[in-house]
Amino acid sequence: MTHRVEPAVAALLAASLLAALCVGPLNLPAESVGRVLARLAGLPVEADDRAIAVVSALRLPRAVLAALVGAGLGVGGAVMQGLFRNALADPGILGISGGASLGAVSAIYFGAASFGIWAMPFAGFAGGLLATNVVSRLARTEGRMPVAALLLSGIAVNAFAMAMMGMLVYSSDDRQLRDITVWLLGSLSGASWQRVTLVAPAVALALAALPFLARALDALILGEREAANLGVRVERVKRLAIAVVAMATGAVVSVAGPIGFVGLVVPHVVRLAAGAGHRRLLPLSAGAGAALLAGADTLARVVVAPAELPVGLVTAAIGAPFFALLLLREKARLGA
């Protein structure tokens, strides 16, 4: 059964993206969406102006952004869980989400948002990279980064970022406070091609690094010394893994806010279906994360239309029960 996972995830991703393009508060027939897509692909097809505008300027960038964000979070979670050999690791474990959130919240607080739509993503991205940098410096001893030290440094940096955010929340005025609250729920609203171009390179680089990581992470399951005996250059792998996750997560959080749950749970679901080998786990986590977020965001856009839900609420609300169900089904096997 496990060999059918790749086609299943691919089909799921295609279905989510299709739904994201065809479904929305504005009622567009699937046929006219198809015409727009054909037109965008360069085919000589007539399409109506309204459909072109809505699909190409609103739905398409948003679907692509959702998929990128989901892929980034899914891969980030899978890599971190592999590196830490810890099922509770998520992309935020190295302080990246905390740092990125602090960066974005500072941007709101200091009014950087009025310097244009790029200010917040950049502040978020910078915050994430800075946090990762601090964590790796804190954890480094004699040229090595012991996993336990990384984990504890991550906890320290996250706690500090949370405290700083608390200070900003406390001293912000009514309007900033409401902005911060909305942002912290995680949302893809305002998705545009500019934001896609901001996130795409980071996620693409992370995906490109996966083949170099997969074998090493497999070896790391046995333990660091054993992996080293197998010829894995453990410290280099750690640095690469951290760089990859920092970039992807920093970019993702800075445009979409801290969307929880995806990075933690998607790798688990994939592992239950396809096993723990990273050669399959990493790309499948990317695909499944993309499918989950594109689907969740479609729901977020329509359930309370013409208003919209923060997508972070939707991922948690549909993902958590689904995960619990899977656990129930697999409990016997897990216990064995």
Partner 1 sequence: MRGVLLAAFAAAALQAGGANAAETPQRIAVAGSGLTEIVVALGAGDRLVGVDTTSLFPERVRRLPQLGYLRAIAAEGVLSLKPDMLLASEDAGPPAVLAQLASAGLRIVRAQEGYDPEAVVRRVAHVGEAIGRPEAARALEGEIAADLARVHAAVPRGNPPRVLFLLAAGAGAPLVAGRETAAAAMIEYAGGRNAIDGYRGYKPLSAEGAVEAAPDLVLTTDTTVRALGGMDAVRALPAFGTLAATKKLRFAEIDPVYMLGFGPRIAHAVRELARILHPDAALPELPERAWLKADR
Tokens of 143: 């040229």
Tell me, residue by residue from 201 to 230, as one string, x for binding to partner 1 by CB under 8 A and - for no binding.
Answer: ------------------------------
Residue 183 or 261: which CB sits closer to partner 1? 183
Least spacing, CB of residue 35 vs partner 1, in Å: 14
Q: Based on the shown chain and the rule CB under 8 A, indicate whether residue 133 belongs to the binding site for partner 1.
A: no
Q: Which of 11, 14, 57, 162 binds partner 1 (CB under 8 A)?
A: 57
Least spacing, CB of residue 185 vs partner 1, in Å: 9
Least spacing, CB of residue 41 vs partner 1, in Å: 15
Residues 65, 255 contacting (CB under 8 angstroms): yes
Of 22, 118, 16, 77, nearest in space to 262 by CA = 77
Residues 75, 243 contacting (CB under 8 angstroms): no
Distance CA 190, CA 315 (A): 18
Q: Based on the shown chain and the rule CB under 8 A, indicate whether residue 307 belongs to the binding site for partner 1.
A: yes
Distances from the Cα of 113 to the Cα of 119, 123, 250, angstroms = 6, 10, 18
Distance CA 35, CA 118 (A): 32
Q: Based on the shown chain and the rule CB under 8 A, indicate whether residue 303 belongs to the binding site for partner 1.
A: no
Residue 117 or 208: which CB sits closer to partner 1? 117
Distance CA 157, CA 125 (A): 16
Distances from the Cα of 127 to the Cα of 102, 105, 254, 258, angstroms = 7, 10, 9, 13
Dmax over CA atoms of the chain, in Å, equals 65
Residue 21 or 145: which CB sits closer to partner 1? 21
Q: Based on the shown chain and the rule CB under 8 A, indicate whether residue 169 belongs to the binding site for partner 1.
A: no
Distance CA 62, CA 302 (A): 14
Least spacing, CB of residue 174 vs partner 1, in Å: 5
Residue 17 or 284: which CB sits closer to partner 1? 17
Residues of span 98-127 touching partner 1 by CB under 8 A: 113, 117
Residue 188 or 241: which CB sits closer to partner 1? 188
Least spacing, CB of residue 172 vs partner 1, in Å: 7
Q: Based on the shown chain and the rule CB under 8 A, indicate whether residue 59 belongs to the binding site for partner 1.
A: yes
Q: Which of 12, 140, 179, 318 binds partner 1 (CB under 8 A)?
A: 179
Of 285, 16, 315, 96, nearest in space to 185 by CA = 315
Helices (H), the chain: 5-22, 30-40, 49-53, 60-84, 96-109, 119-139, 147-171, 174-184, 193-220, 224-229, 234-256, 262-274, 278-302, 311-335
Least spacing, CB of residue 198 vs partner 1, in Å: 12
Q: Based on the shown chain and the rule CB under 8 A, indicate whether residue 42 belongs to the binding site for partner 1.
A: no
Q: Which of 41, 43, 44, 173 binds partner 1 (CB under 8 A)?
A: 173
Q: Based on the shown chain and the rule CB under 8 A, indicate whether residue 172 belongs to the binding site for partner 1.
A: yes
The residue ranges that bind partner 1 (CB under 8 A) are 24-27, 49-50, 52-54, 56-59, 113, 117, 170, 172-175, 177-179, 182, 187, 189-190, 192-193, 301, 304-308, 310
